[in-house]
Amino acid sequence: MSSTPDLVANPEAARRVLTTRPTAQDIGFVAAARSAAVSTLVLMGLIGLFLLIGAWPALKSQGFHFLTRTEWLPETGTFGIASLLWGTILVGLLALVVAVPLGFGAALFISEYAPRSLKSSLVTLVDLMAAVPSIVYAMWALFFLQGHMLQVSQWLSVHFGSVLPFLRVDTPDSPSSYTSSAFIAGAAVGVVVLPTITSIMREVFAQAPIGEREGAIALGATRWGMIRTVVIPFGRAGIVGGIMLGLGRALGETIVVYAIISPSFDLTTRPLQSGTNTIASHIASRYSESGGVALSGLLGAGLVLFLFTLVVNTLAGVVVSRSRSGAATEI
Amino acid sequence: MTLTDDSHDQTLTLPAVLDSRGAPASLVADGVSAWFGDHHVLRDVTLPMPAGRVTALIGPSGCGKSTFLRILNRMHELVPGASLAGEVRLDGNDIYDPARRPIESRRRIGMVFQKANPFPTMSIHDNVLAGLALTGKRVRGRAADELVERSLRSAGLWDEVRTRLDAPGASLSGGQQQRLCIARALAVRPDVLLMDEPCLALDPTSTRRVEETIRAIADEVTVVIVTHNMQQAHRVSDRCAFFLAAEGQPGYIVEQGDTDDIFERPQDSRTSDYVNGRFG
């Protein structure tokens, strides 16, 4: 009983600072790890800063019009990225139209339906698809995919163009109206981002808790019923995050778009019609022949793309990490 | 799941499937053996589980009780490489008959797991109705509300959640989640309810509530429960089967019979040692 009075009698006890003296190795390791982490942030910041400095003359000369002007005529001193930005978004969204249903289905098949013997080879195959260089996809899209997509484009335009104005083209009878379009570029980019979307969705589906899966099955659910009740609600944030990461990748895709499209500076609302442009493709096609304020304008376009993809990818990261599947919190 | 309240007379009469008071059915395991790949885990288990009674499966860890329980509603075959021999008859019909789909058997033979597994983002209300939604039966409006209330009352959870049926399943405590899972299993009116150590993760108060629930539902559903807790087996069960497995050997039933006989007049010395806490 001797300790009880002490506890009551000493309300003013000095709080101890709980600390451990680090060893030299601790200090060294922490410093190394911290500087590695900081240097990636610094590098990102420096890239942004470099783009901003390079773009400054163009931004100063064009002001806010840099974002709203559609034409690109540096020689006459008027240029803007409105059509490029629009084309970038259009191609990105069309890529998602192709890649999201395919990726979702592939991810569900690999995680839920594929026999065990097939599963690991499919996972490897998807990872391999992600490792194929863009230029290979670009050649495939240019020499194979485009020829076949023309018929699809024409079919869509002829059959649905009368109802849906955005499917119309100028001369629907001529196949050449459909070449080099945002639709074909989008489809090709969709193939490029497909493995990204598939592997992210597959990973979150595979994490759906076995307890909840068995709970659904024990209630007499079919496999699809179980997937609908457990796997998809669990993976919802992963689905959204995967789509956004795919979009981030599609926005920056350069060589595939460059190979397919014929550049145009219209704010096109008809993706089947030949001609479009994206920021990345525009920079790739123009930088070697640009100087002075035109080059500065390209750096400005790069800055906008940089910030845009940064925002999209950050949002994707936030969505994934806030989710049950991402945070790995079990109830 | 959405509950649309359209003013048809459907809202007044319960669908036939819900109205039929679950008639407890007898379950008979006949010569059941089980394997995981080449690993033989259960040998020639024959056990009748009479209708409307509580049968407890007791025995040390690793003797195949849970495997046996999962065989009773075809959950065993979900494990890759799992196989079995023998028959399981629900009211005389083999549930492993190739003509019967596994989901039909699972709809009549419900299961409650060691770890409570409500659908965490679904509301309490929808959790109770999840089994019906999953089997393609739509219940609407007042019929749905009545079924939810009846199931939650049976599971002894109604008074604790009646004011927050829209709260997500994950917002409940562990013991409440387990009783929600019992309510969810009861809502589909199963003939048999299997329980795999339902109180393993629960505190004594919640355990008592679940045990009361088991006794209360026993007259409407046949219960088979795996438990490591001897007092619990004694308190809740009418019949008892003692499983045992030697090191590396498949499990089997040493002794089965009325719970009072197993606990007070065991025929086998190993049963006597186990129920009196001398091993296991």
Q: What pLDDT, in 10s, does the model give residues A105-160?
A: 999 999 999 998 899 999 999 999 999 999 999 999 999 999 999 999 999 998 99
pLDDT of residue B220: 86
CA distance linking residue A136 with residue A138, whole number of Å: 5
A219 falls within a domain: yes
Q: DSSP H helical segments within chain B, as ranges?
A: 16-19, 65-71, 102-108, 124-134, 141-154, 158-161, 174-187, 204-217, 230-236, 259-264, 269-275
Closest CA to A216 of B245, B135, B80, B229: B135
**Count of A–B CB contacts within 8 Å?**
71
A100 falls within a domain: yes
**Distance from the B126 Cα atom to the nearest Cα atom in chain A, whole angstroms:** 11
- The enclosing domain of A98 has a CATH number of 1.10.3720.10
pLDDT above 80: residue B4 = no
Q: What residue of A is the nearest CA neighbor of B75?
A: A218
CA distance linking residue B186 with residue B189, whole number of Å: 5
A308 falls within a domain: no
Average pLDDT of chain B to the nearest whole number: 87
A123 falls within a domain: yes
Among A207, A210, A219, A331, most B C-beta atoms within 10 A, so best to mutate, is A219
Q: Taking residues B19-30, report their average pLDDT.
A: 76
Element (H, E) at B243: strand B239-244
Number of domains in chain A: 1
Closest CA to A229 of B214, B117, B259: B117
pLDDT of residue A24: 92
pLDDT above 70: residue A306 = yes
pLDDT of residue B13: 38
Would you call B80 an interface residue with chain A, using a CB distance cutoff of 8 Å?
yes
Place of tokens 């089947």: A272
A319 falls within a domain: no
A115 falls within a domain: yes
Closest CA to A88 of A304, A293, A235, A300: A304
Phi, psi of B27 (to 5 degrees): -125, 130
A interface with B, Cβ–Cβ below 8 Å: 116, 209, 211-212, 214-222, 225-226, 229-230, 233, 324, 331
CA distance linking residue A50 with residue A43, whole number of Å: 10
CA distance linking residue B27 with residue B71, whole number of Å: 12
CA angle B127, B191, B182 (to 5 degrees): 30
Name which residue leads in pLDDT, A51 or B141: A51
Q: What residue of A is the nearest CA neighbor of B114?
A: A211
CA distance linking residue A253 with residue A190, whole number of Å: 10
Is B183 in contact with B155 (CB distance < 8 Å)? yes
Q: Are strands B27-36 and B39-49 parallel, antiparallel or unpaired?
A: antiparallel
CA angle A265, A268, A270 (to 5 degrees): 145
A243 falls within a domain: yes
pLDDT of residue A326: 52
Is A87 in contact with A301 (CB distance < 8 Å)? no
- Whether residues B107 and A219 touch (CB distance < 8 A) is answered with yes
Q: Taking residues A157-170, report their average pLDDT.
A: 87
| Radius of gyration (C-alpha) of chain A in whole angstroms | 27
Q: pTM (2 decimals)?
A: 0.82
CA distance linking residue A145 with residue A277, whole number of Å: 19
Residues of B with Cβ-Cβ distance to A207 under 8 angstroms = none
- Whether residues B113 and A222 touch (CB distance < 8 A) is answered with no
**Distance from the B108 Cα atom to the nearest Cα atom in chain A, whole angstroms:** 8
pLDDT in tens, B175-209: 899 999 999 999 998 999 999 999 888 888 888 88
Phi, psi of B90 (to 5 degrees): -100, 115
What domains are defined for chain B? Answer: 25-275 (3.40.50.300)
Is A294 in contact with A79 (CB distance < 8 Å)? yes
Would you call B103 an interface residue with chain A, using a CB distance cutoff of 8 Å?
yes
pLDDT of residue B49: 95
pLDDT above 60: residue B95 = yes
- Whether residues B103 and A220 touch (CB distance < 8 A) is answered with yes
- Whether residues B181 and A215 touch (CB distance < 8 A) is answered with yes
Q: What residue of B is the nearest CA neighbor of A226?
A: B134
- Which two structure tokens, joined as six digits, stand for B175? 């013991």
Q: What residue of B is the nearest CA neighbor of A323?
A: B121
- Which two structure tokens, joined as six digits, stand for B91? 């009211």
- Whether residues A219 and B184 touch (CB distance < 8 A) is answered with yes
A286 falls within a domain: yes
- Least confident segment among A138-152, B17-31, B259-273: B17-31
pLDDT of residue A237: 85
**Distance from the A119 Cα atom to the nearest Cα atom in chain B, whole angstroms:** 13
**Distance from the A313 Cα atom to the nearest Cα atom in chain B, whole angstroms:** 26
Residues of A with Cβ-Cβ distance to B117 under 8 angstroms = 209, 211-212, 214-215
CA distance linking residue A79 with residue B74, whole number of Å: 69
Model ipTM value:
0.85
E-assigned strands of A67-179? 72-73, 78-79
Q: What are residue B88's DSSP bridge partners?
A: B29
Going by the DSSP 8-state scheme, the letter that residue B123 receives in this structure is B
- Least confident segment among A80-94, A121-135, B2-16, B147-161: B2-16
pLDDT of residue B174: 87
The answer for B 137-166 residues in CB contact with A (under 8 A) is none
pLDDT of residue B280: 63
Amino acid at B48: P
Residues of B with Cβ-Cβ distance to A220 under 8 angstroms = 103-104, 106-107, 131, 134-135, 188
pLDDT above 90: residue A266 = no
pLDDT of residue A192: 95
Would you call B135 an interface residue with chain A, using a CB distance cutoff of 8 Å?
yes
Name which residue leads in pLDDT, A326 or A199: A199
A162 lies in which domain range? 87-290
A268 three-class SS: coil
pLDDT of residue A11: 63
Please report which confidence band the pLDDT of residue A165 belongs to, taking 50, 70 and 90 as the band edges.
Answer: confident
Among A223, A230, A331, most B C-beta atoms within 10 A, so best to mutate, is A331
CA distance linking residue B166 with residue B148, whole number of Å: 12
Phi, psi of B83 (to 5 degrees): -145, 170
CA distance linking residue B189 with residue B193, whole number of Å: 10
Would you call B198 an interface residue with chain A, using a CB distance cutoff of 8 Å?
no
Would you call B78 an interface residue with chain A, using a CB distance cutoff of 8 Å?
yes
The answer for B 5-64 residues in CB contact with A (under 8 A) is none
- Whether residues B188 and A220 touch (CB distance < 8 A) is answered with yes
Please report which confidence band the pLDDT of residue A6 belongs to, taking 50, 70 and 90 as the band edges.
Answer: low
Amino acid at B110: G
- Whether residues B117 and A116 touch (CB distance < 8 A) is answered with no
